[in-house]
A and B are shown apart, each in its own frame.
Chain A
């Protein structure tokens, strides 16, 4: 693919998935980044190669960790709910948590920990306030199953789903600053309206927020 064809850690692709690109756009070049739930490291490799980011990754799946280490990334196998606490305060400029907050046991503590370890947190999650979710429960009387949330109630990892409004309320109660917000469609493309308003809560499939520490 590249001239360094023999290398397994050849450069990451020039273009990445649209939702990952939006996350990457929030990161300052040359910063220190921890990607929690980094998968096989696509985003970290992109940040390393195009933004000279000093990156680390945490990933639950051993196969994905192995794939990430094979391309030269500093990724460890671990669970964010037990391993995040080992990192010292201010270790990173950004901590990224994509589509995972709703699967944690203690989302509030996780958010606080993200902003202890990193000066900023980049967090995305599916919006349980989307109109299809609401209609599904209202008319079908069934737990919602949508393209963004395809699992059944008995096999989903998502034990703490929230709406955009719920998330904003939690963030406000923690005194956390919302530095940027994006209402997203199912593919992760930003919508035209604001991320914290009613439209977002009703029409966005997912949301992405850049959070900063409480000002005090």
Chain B
């Protein structure tokens, strides 16, 4: 609600949904496939300044969407980064123009497997081409071009959002001032690919999935998608945080039932996570987006040397990791830092002490928020976007 800006060409169907833009011309994907038309749904917060220099692009994670702040249209929750984004907050929408688009392949209005394939008049389903992180970023770059934004002040995001921020810095170093990849990596690890494969197989094994044609056939692979979500959700937490939250406590009962009911609170919690997820997420999108993450490897793209990915980079980087994140552990952020050091790039790196696991990037972690605020402030000052009181003096 806060300043979502409907000014540019809106082709959205539902009033309450985000504005959408159809990219001019096809999008040539990393796989070589030419995809057209491509529509991107996005949200904006705050106002673009006169010289169009105050954009912060936020890249969302696997199961998030463009609703970063304010009320979410299809859940009763607030946006996934509502704690960070808003007037006077760490990403201050009084000063910055925040853009977040639903990723290519997503299911919240951007072109993806659940949208209609113009060639068949049916949902794409598995006819949708496999996409990559690079394709997502290309789509974002084209969106920004069409919004008239040539230079982005800062690109940030957590998890898969961090991958996109790194891809931005790699591919468009002259179009961004700063990049803040949070709880991310330059490549998806074997363990992470393995977890994704469990999730995908759960979906594919659900008879309601119907070879991906569930939308035409009027079914929903909700069991498979829920199991995928449950398995993934465990990887977003940590053993200490699960123990603190649930321990071995029983759910609404005093003794075990000696059956397969959700006796334990942790089981009940996971089931709830799974069931609520299927209401807001498309199973095929889950297949495609997890695949995009699996294919991501910036080192391989750069002749095996990650340092080559950031050759003479003018971008100011701030990497943030979390001690208890075992999905994207600190060591992977540190490898990026080393690659950036090899280019003597301007890089800050902080590992935040927390027991909340990978999900910490979504939670209220004062040390994390303080670090991000300080970095943004420093980078803003360096390009004359400094403090709020300077704003009036600009031109």
Contacts and interface: CB of A to CB of B under 8 A. Distances in A.
Contacts of B49: none
Contact of A9 (B341, B347, B381, B388): B381
Contact of B374 (A6, A8, A32, A76): A8
Contact of A66 (B342, B367, B377): B367
A132 interface: no
B350 interface: yes
Contact of B378 (A56, A72, A77): A72
Interface string B78-96: 0000000000000000000
A98 B352 CA distance: 26
A62 B379 contact: no
Contact of B371 (A54, A69, A74, A87): A69
Given A62-B350, A73-B348, A6 B387 contact: yes
B347 A70 contact: no
A91 B346 CA distance: 11
Contacts of B318: 69
B348 A87 contact: no
Interface in A42-85: 54, 56, 62, 65-66, 68-78, 83
A74 B346 contact: yes
Contacts of A70: 370-371, 373-375
A91 B378 contact: no
Given A4-B387, A8-B373, A66-B350, A86 B338 contact: yes
B273 interface: no
Contacts of B371: 66, 69-70
B381 A92 contact: no
Nearest to B390: A4
B338 A9 contact: no
A72 B387 contact: no
Contact of B350 (A4, A65, A72): A65
A159 interface: no
Contacts of B338: 83, 86
Interface residues of A, number: 28
A78 B381 CA distance: 26
A88 interface: yes
B378 A9 contact: yes
B322 to A, nearest CB: 12
A7 interface: yes
A87 B379 CA distance: 22
A68 to B, nearest CB: 8
Given A7-B387, A83-B338, A92-B344, A73 B378 contact: yes
Interface string B217-249: 000000000000000000000000000000000
Given A7-B387, A9-B378, A9-B381, A56 B346 contact: yes
A8 B341 contact: no
A9 B379 CA distance: 10
Interface string B358-395: 00000000010011011101110100001111000000
B177 to A, nearest CB: 13
Contacts of B348: 65, 68-69, 73-76
B316 interface: yes
A70 B377 CA distance: 8
Contact of B342 (A8, A32, A56, A87): A87
Contacts of B353: 62
Contact of B341 (A65, A73, A83): A83
Contacts of B347: 56, 74, 76
- For the complex of A and B, the 7 pairs showing the least CB-CB separation, nearest first, are A72-B378, A70-B374, A91-B344, A76-B349, A86-B341, A86-B338, A69-B348
Interface of A: 4, 6-9, 32, 54, 56, 62, 65-66, 68-78, 83, 86-88, 91-92
Interface of B: 316, 318, 334, 337-338, 341-344, 346-353, 367, 370-371, 373-375, 377-379, 381, 386-389
9 contacts: A66-B370, A69-B371, A69-B374, A71-B374, A72-B374, A74-B316, A75-B349, A78-B334, A86-B338
